[in-house]
């Protein structure tokens, strides 16, 4: 099999991890679900694959029980969490992570103590780059009752300028699909102002009544990304149910946004390869010069289905526009498992293409290096 083991990995899309965000039920780490049914997660292929990966790392026998593996994992994590993070990241060869600090959609945001914990755990282990999430910035950081529309726009722009000076920022991100779907349309200042005054509440609304304001802020965020030379990330495809309505998450719904002048001047990454709309995401990246995609979340949560999803992207999207990402967050294990699994899977898939005469072995090795490291380094300028 094509050996990609020496290639350092850039995780082009992840989230902070820390012990306080780990669920009591470890199997939860391998599901996107945010409600109930925890016992069912023990039967996910991705979870079982992660257990096998841990047996290799810890030198446990092949027939070690699920309980033994998890106990060993938890013991190491609780004894010295930074050392545990370092062990996993060195094992996977992860050297950099682009981290969206704005999660979760609902519930309590990350505290200063939690962010400090993440910084401590990654110090000297990997390079961390920030992503500014539009919705979190507006809802949790800037919004206060009585704040006018004009005031929140001014604060939003000032926040990005200041934050960029004080942090290593790789991009601006929107998860507007969660809030109101990807069916973006241009909204005038006046319409957005009226909607803001009537419907915006500084939080997620299941009825999606604040769509004009949300769409306006996506346009403003895209404009600011271009102005500051930052990449603009868009969450596409599957996300945490029930907040994420998959029916509204097809990347094709971004047609109007991708055809704006601002989009033509800005690098745009369709996060998660639009799963299950992989062909759609790949086609957009293939035909819009400034559009790229990453395969984050698929390799953390889909088990071996990640391989069939990746083949869709590989067949349609230019190879210099595809990036690895894990979408790991809360549990450090997700990014570690995703990196190790995908490195091997990528080698096997590229071998198949070489055997069929699609690529030379040298070009297959070049693809591996691009996807695991070089594309993210170039696109994000890190």
Query: Which residues are CB-contacts of 6 (< 8 A; sequence separation ≥ 6)?
Result: none
pLDDT, greater one: 41 or 348: 348
Average pLDDT over residues 239-243: 84
Of 303, 334, 175, 328, nearest in space to 244 by CA: 175
Q: Is the dihedral of CA 305, 76, 125, 112 positive or negative?
A: positive
DSSP per-residue codes, 54-92: HHHHHT--TT--HHHHHHHHHHHHHH-HHHHHHHHHHHH
Average pLDDT over residues 118-134: 97
> Quick one: pLDDT at residue 269?
98
Q: Quick one: pLDDT band at residue 378, thresholds 50, 70, 90?
A: very high
Q: Kindly list the structural domains of the chain, giving each domain's residue range(s) and its CATH number in brackets, ordered by start.
A: 9-380 (3.20.20.140)
Beta bridge partners of residue 294, listed in sequence order: 323
Q: Count Cβ atoms below 10 Å from residue 145 Cβ, excluding itself.
A: 6
* Tens-place pLDDT, residues 220-237: 999 999 999 999 999 999
94-100 sheet: strands from edge to edge? 9-14, 94-100, 127-133, 169-174, 231-235, 268-271, 291-294, 322-323
User: Taking the mean position of all CA atoms in its chain, how far away is CA 266?
Assistant: 19
Average pLDDT over residues 329-339: 95
* Tens-place pLDDT, residues 16-63: 999 999 987 888 888 877 665 555 788 999 999 999 999 999 999 999
> Quick one: pLDDT at residue 106?
78
* CA–CA dist 80, 108 (Å, integer): 26
Residue 248 has pLDDT above 70, yes or no: yes
Q: Quick one: pLDDT band at residue 240, thresholds 50, 70, 90?
A: confident
* Tens-place pLDDT, residues 51-86: 999 999 999 999 999 999 999 999 999 999 999 999
* CA–CA dist 86, 126 (Å, integer): 9
Average pLDDT over residues 147-155: 98
Percent residues over pLDDT 70 in the chain? 98
Of 114, 192, 122, nearest in space to 150 by CA: 192
Q: Quick one: pLDDT band at residue 131, thresholds 50, 70, 90?
A: very high
> Quick one: pLDDT at residue 246?
94
Residue 83 · residue 92 · CB < 8 Å:
no
Residue 268 · residue 292 · CB < 8 Å:
yes
Residue 179 has pLDDT above 70, yes or no: yes
Q: What single-letter DSSP state applies at residue 270?
A: E
Residue 32 · residue 301 · CB < 8 Å:
yes
SS3 22: coil
Of 336, 263, 358, 303, nearest in space to 73 by CA: 336
> Quick one: pLDDT at residue 108?
87
> Quick one: pLDDT at residue 87?
98
> Quick one: pLDDT at residue 36?
55
Q: Count Cβ atoms below 10 Å from residue 158 Cβ, excluding itself.
A: 11
Residue 6 · residue 320 · CB < 8 Å:
no
Residue 17 · residue 299 · CB < 8 Å:
no
* Tens-place pLDDT, residues 86-103: 999 999 999 999 999 998
If phi > 0 it is left, if psi is from -120 to 50 it is alpha, else beta; for residue 363 that is alpha
> Quick one: pLDDT at residue 34?
63
Q: How many residues does the chain have?
A: 382
If phi > 0 it is left, if psi is from -120 to 50 it is alpha, else beta; for residue 10 that is beta
Which two tokens mark 251? 């990347």
H or E element, residue 234: strand 231-235
* Tens-place pLDDT, residues 274-317: 999 999 999 999 999 999 999 999 999 999 999 999 999 999 99
């Amino acid at each position: 099999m094509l050996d990609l083991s020496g290639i350092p990995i850039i995780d082009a899309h992840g989230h902070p991890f820390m012990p306080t965000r780990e669920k009591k039920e470890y199997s939860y780490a391998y599901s996107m679900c945010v409600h109930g049914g925890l016992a069912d997660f023990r039967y996910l292929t991705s979870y079982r694959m992660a257990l096998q990966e841990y047996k290799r790392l810890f030198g446990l026998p092949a027939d070690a029980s699920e309980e033994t593996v998890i106990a060993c994992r938890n013991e190491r994590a609780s004894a010295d969490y930074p050392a545990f993070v370092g062990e996993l990241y060195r094992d996977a060869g992860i050297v950099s992570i682009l981290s969206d600090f704005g999660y979760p959609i609902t519930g309590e945001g990350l505290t200063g103590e939690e962010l400090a914990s993440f910084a401590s755990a990654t110090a000297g282990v990997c390079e961390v780059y920030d992503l500014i999430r539009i919705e979190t910035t507006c809802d949790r950081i800037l919004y206060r009752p009585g704040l006018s529309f004009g005031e929140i726009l001014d604060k939003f722009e000032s926040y990005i300028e200041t934050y960029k000076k004080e942090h290593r920022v790789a991009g601006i991100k929107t998860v507007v699909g969660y809030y109101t779907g990807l069916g973006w349309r241009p909204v005038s200042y006046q319409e957005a102002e009226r909607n803001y005054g009537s419907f915006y509440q500084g939080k997620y609304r299941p009825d999606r009544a604040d769509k004009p304001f949300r769409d306006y802020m996506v346009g403003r965020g895209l404009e600011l990304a271009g102005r500051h030379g930052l990449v603009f990330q868009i969450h596409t495809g599957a996300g945490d149910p029930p907040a994420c309505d998959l029916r509204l998450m097809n990347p094709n719904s971004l047609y109007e946004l991708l055809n704006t002048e601002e989009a033509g001047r800005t690098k745009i990454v369709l996060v998660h390869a639009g799963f299950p709309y992989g062909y759609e995401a790949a086609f957009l990246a293939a035909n819009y010069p400034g559009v790229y995609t990453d395969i984050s979340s698929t390799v953390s949560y889909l088990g071996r289905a990640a391989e069939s999803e990746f083949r869709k992207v590989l067949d349609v999207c230019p190879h210099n526009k595809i990036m690895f990402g894990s979408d790991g967050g809360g549990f450090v294990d997700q990014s570690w498992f995703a990196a190790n699994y995908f490195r091997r899977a990528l080698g096997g898939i590229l071998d198949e293409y070489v055997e069929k005469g699609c690529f030379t072995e040298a070009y297959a090795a070049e693809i591996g290096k691009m996807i695991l490291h070089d594309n993210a380094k170039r696109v994000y300028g890190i």
